[in-house]
Structure 1
Amino acid sequence: MRYFKIFIIGFLPILIIQFGILVFLETVYFADNSSYSSKKVENDSTKDVSKPKLVLEEGSINTSASYDGKYLAYLKNNDLLVLNLDNASKTKVSADVGMEIVYYKWIYDRNRLILAERSTDTKNDMFFKLYYYDVDSNNKVEIFNEVNNRSIKIPIYSGNERIDAIDMSTLTNAIYVKLSSSNDYSRIYRINIMAQEKSINTVTHDIGKIISTKRDDVLLYENSKDRKVFEYGNSSPLEVDGNSNLCLLGIDNKDNIYLAPINNDKTQTIYYGSITNKDWKKINIKTLIDINDIYINIKGQIFIKDTSKSIIKELSIGKETYYNGKIIGIYNNGIISEKNNEITKSIFQ
């Protein structure tokens, strides 16, 4: 018993010292090391990624959207600006030396534009030149006459003459350019697949909207004065259901032409069909509609705008989509609008 007491008295301090060392290591030494080696990791994939604000610059003109709604183009200070609506990046396309960009037109089924540039040297004969600009590759190419190894130059006959319409057949590569002057005198130039240009004869020089078929090479144009529609090469106006007071509304990717009989720029009827077969189909609208409130997209969908309610209604199914501010354009899947210089994309309902 005596030896046992001596053992306990001698061993107990050793246990106390060892326990104290373990507590120190656990609470101080190991704790400090772990604070440097462990760290809370934030998972970025769980964070909400807000879309960038899309702002249209002050002074922008001729704003329009690409067919897929990915890009918005506009003119400012004689340059072309292309805004990527996915990431808000912007590309500036400058004119060639001695030229200024005065007009552009999106090609209906791809992210490519036709540009028109005007010479700035007023001391010599002035002219327009045409270019292709591919947005995805950021490449600008002059439309050039390879056969005769020369630039295509559309002459300007008066200082106030301007380009106010371009359309093309994507299958035949024929391009039609409408030029107008301040006295409402218009003329049309045609550039063919060989990049050969010529002025074409039209029934009238009071020309309104022009439309080129996409699969064939047929040009339709309006007589703005008496509201007739003519096919190039035919001196008689188009007539549908005995009505020749028509306006051009649009065209789809199957080359169906959309027409409306009008009275004081209003209609309750839309006709569509092939200009080749003249097999016109009729669509009745319940109320009288201003023709400027009718939109036809390339898929052949017909939309009616109701400005008082800020909605676009798809005519065939009655679905309504709200938009904000002023409509810039309708693309394949929705509407692009602008209010206080802020751009909004609204997907069709």
Structure 2
Amino acid sequence: MNLLKKLLIWSIIAVLIESGMFFYLDKAYSRTSASDYKEVKSTTKSEKKTYNEVKVPENAENVQVSFDGKYISYCENKELKIVNTQDEKVQSVETKDNATISYFKWMPDSNWILICEKDSRDRINFYNYNPSKNSKNQLTDHDMKPLIIELDSKNDKVENIALSTASHVMYTKILHKNGKSDIYRSNVMNQIEKIKTPNNEIGNISILNLASNLVYEDKEEEEIKSVTQTVIKNKKGDEKTSTNISSIDFQDNSKRVLLGTDTQDKVYIGISEGGKISSILFGDLKNSTSEWKNLKLPEVTDKSNIVITNSGNIYIKNQSKSSVKNVVTNAETQYTGNFIEIQDKYIYALSNSKVIRTALK
């Protein structure tokens, strides 16, 4: 009996010790995990973003700024250079043998740059370049076939590219020597096709970031048009792409020009009077243009003086006063030098071969 009691007591003690050990380990693990998390969180220092007024050569052409101002790009003697504004290091982007830089453009929401190179066979090849890794990759489709546009002549050039980072759709405008233009569309798989527009008198182009519609100026018919593509499946499941081009219906016969689009798919149209913009009409293509907002400008201005940012802010630049004014808030910001562009709440301008950054008011 005594032996049975001893065995029972020791069994209970063992269970209590084991339970206590599990409880201790569980609490210790929980405390350690929480403590580690808090320690990492408390000791992690936010990266300090700095900006240095980097120098660019006097013969630099097509100076551009990345979306957050970390990089400045320009062409020098037909060579693409990229400068890091934090450490002022300069990178030279190499091209293939006998190829030349035809066009380049920063992504609207990342520090990647899209590059178009024209090769010795008068073809446009597309590349993306990541300056943080100094890596350059050619755009290809799912079969690893390069994305290429074959030009009609050596005088043809890439004049503009409108792209959506949301849908990965890109429209490329090729300008011919005779002033006519063609537009090519590439999708998320980098498959490319020419858009069959009613005519080739094409002005400014832009894209809806979310819906991926192309919006462009038809110079011959003096209309603003929208290009949509839909995928249709037949009974066998085969897919066919259907392209529809329609004119945006406005309520009057005023002359209009396309100013741009923002990341929320708003379209911005300038009402032209005597070759200058007197008001700005903007809204969503899903709604009737009668529901769009009409912003009357305090005074008429050239189209080139109007800046539409990705976030939908509207600015008027005054080169003679070296100022930029927000049309909605009337906040005016002075800057120094020759205006380059507006990116990430800053004005960038070139002064004495330096890129000067000024915070917008």
- TM-score of Structure 1 vs Structure 2, range by shorter chain: 0.7 to 0.9
- Is 1:274 the counterpart of 2:284? The answer is yes
Question: 1:229, 1:68 → 2: CA distance?
Answer: 31
Closer, same or farther in 2 for the Cα pair 1:100/1:171, shift >3 Å?
same
Alignment of 1:15-30 (within 5 A): none
Q: Select which of 290, 309, 320 maps to 2:332.
A: 320
| Structure 1 position 58, deviation (Å) | 2.7
Alpha-carbon distance between aligned partners in 1 of 2:286 and 2:113, rounded to the nearest angstrom = 28
C-alpha contact 1:329 1:337 (8 A) present in aligned 2: yes
Residue 264 of structure 1 pairs with residue 274 of structure 2 = yes
What does 1:290-305 correspond to in 2, within 5 Å? 290-305=302-317
TM-score (norm 2): 0.77
Amino acid in structure 2 at the alignment position of 1:344: I
* Deviation for aligned residue 1:339: 2.6
Aligned: 1:286 with 2:298? yes
Pairwise CA distance, 1:103: 0.5
Counterpart secondary structure, 1:144: coil
Counterpart in 1 of 2:192? 197
1:337-348 aligned within 5 A = 337-348=349-360
User: Which structure 1 segments of 5+ residues have no match?
Assistant: 1-49
Distance 1:107 1:244, change over 3 A: farther
- State the AA in 2 paired with 1:106: W
Equivalent positions of 1:170-249 (< 5 A) are 170-225=165-220, 227-232=222-227, 233=243, 235-243=245-253, 245-249=255-259
Q: Which residue of 2 aligns with 1:165?
A: 160
Gaps in structure 2 of 5+ consecutive residues: 1-49, 228-242
CA distance in 1 between partners of 2:149 and 2:142 (Å): 16
Q: 1:289 to 1:175 in 2, by over 3 A?
A: same
Summarize the Cα distance change of 1:300–1:58 in structure 2 as closer, same or farther, 3 Å threshold.
same
Q: 2:348 aligns with which of 336, 340, 349?
A: 336
> How many residues are paired up?
295
| 121, 129, 135: which one aligns with 2:131 | 135
**Secondary structure at the counterpart of residue 137 of structure 1:** coil
**Deviation, structure 1 residue 144:** 0.6
**Offset of residue 281 of structure 1:** 1.4
Letter in 2 for 1:262: S
Aligned position for 2:97:
97
Equivalent residue, structure 1, for 2:15: none
| Length-normalised TM-score, structure 1 | 0.79
1:168-195 C-alpha deviation (Å, 9 max, x unpaired): 1212211111111221011011111121
Which consecutive aligned stretches of 4+ in structure 1 deviate over 4 angstroms post-superposition? Answer: 50-53, 233-236
Q: SS in structure 2 opposite 1:292? A: helix
Distance 1:85 1:103, change over 3 A: same
CA contact (8 A) 1:169 1:212 kept: yes
Aligned residue type for 1:249:
L
62 and 231 in structure 1: CA distance in 2 versus 1, 3 angstrom threshold:
same
In 2, distance between residues paired with 1:153 and 1:326? Answer: 35
After superposition, the C-alpha distances for 1:181-222 in whole angstroms (9 at most, x for unaligned) are 221011011111121111111123121111011112200111
Deviation at 1:340, TM superposition (A): 3.3
Structure 1 SS opposite 2:304: helix
Give the letter aligned to residue 194 of structure 2.
S
Q: Deviations over 1:68-111 (max 9, x none)?
A: 22221112233221122233221111112342221111111111
Q: Is the 8 A contact 1:240 1:280 kept in 2?
A: no
1:114 corresponding residue in structure 2: 114
The SS at the match of 1:145 is coil
Matches within 5 A, 1:145-164: 145-147=141-143, 149-164=144-159
Q: Work out whether residues 237 and 244 of structure 1, in 8 Å CA contact, stay in contact via their aligned partners in 2.
A: no
Within 2, Cα distance between the matches of 1:82 and 1:175? 23
- Kept in 1, the 8 Å contact 2:199–2:220? The answer is no
Q: Which stretch has the larger CA shift, 278-287 or 161-170? A: 278-287
Deviation, structure 1 residue 234:
5.0
Does 1:84 find its partner at 2:95? Answer: no
Give the alignment's Cα RMSD to 1 decimal: 2.0
Partner-residue secondary structure (3-state), 2:287: coil
Contact 1:222/1:247, CA 8 A, preserved across alignment: yes
Q: Between the two proteins, what is the percent identity of the paired residues?
A: 28
